[in-house]
Amino acid sequence: MSTAPAAGPAAATLIHTDAQGLAQGEFRLPVQGGTIAAYYAAPEGGKDLPVVLVLQEIFGIHEHIQDICRRVAKAGYLAVAANLYERQGDASTYTDIPKLISELVSKVSDEQVLSDLDASLAWAGRNGGDTKRVGVTGFCWGGRLTWMYAAHNPAVKAAVAWYGKLTTGHGPLIKTMAVDIADKVHGPVLGLYAGEDASIPLDSVEEMKKRLAASNNAASRACEIVVYPGVGHGFLADYRPMYNKQAAEDGWKRMLAWFGKYL
């Protein structure tokens, strides 16, 4: 586990990435049992592009997640983000996070999410993506699922998990934790974590580090975990007060370098 330089205080600085040079927009993603809302962004006219699946925070695929897709697309990837719990309700109608988790997020199973991500990848393959070069990145709730999807789909060549839970999940449907699949990832995962994260204790980060190092799986041993001291949860979320510019920018550079190396 590497330790990043300490970052300064958090300050919300809303980032907007324009769509110049991109093909992008909302669409209905075919999934088991129907369709769900989704968003994509890619270099305009691009073909055989490496794919990055973008996994939402608990708030769904709102403007921040769409902006992240555009940032990823500007780096040369086909980015796809699906609303992974549309079936359970509309996250945008909630302002109370505990209520959002109890009424909606806790009712989402890993099986549903993994199936929808498989469908996202299949859509990408039909729409200019190279399914032999697949990355995945996710944030908070989506950070945990990034680890899980890296172990689920052999097509994943690299993943970047931003402050995803490692020893717990959101609600009673979650039976397998990220630490349980540490030796099963198909592509190396870069974990980006906060030193002052009240929801992810550092001892759980250390436990993940130990399990990765002890694995006989080469992809697991190639995983890396970076901890930003003095930084709180959600440090990439530029639309929220928890945003930390220094940690966010460093993490973003590390993510692009990681995908550049493995995709």
The one-letter amino acid at 141: W
Strands 129-139 and 49-55: parallel
CB neighbours of 158 closer than 8 A, spacing ≥ 6?
135, 136, 187, 188, 189, 190, 258, 259, 261, 262, 263
Distance (Å, whole) CA 106 – CA 87: 12
Give the residue numbers marked as catalytic: 140, 197, 233
d(CA 72, CA 160): 12
Q: Assess contact for 137 and 54: CB atoms under 8 A.
A: yes
Categorise residue 193: left if φ over 0, alpha if ψ from -120 to 50, beta otherwise: beta
Please state whether beta strands 49-55 and 34-43 pair in parallel, antiparallel, or not at all (unpaired).
unpaired
User: Any idea how long the chain is?
Assistant: 263
Q: Which helix (H) or strand (E) holds 63?
A: helix 63-74
Pair 251, 216: CB distance under 8 Å: no
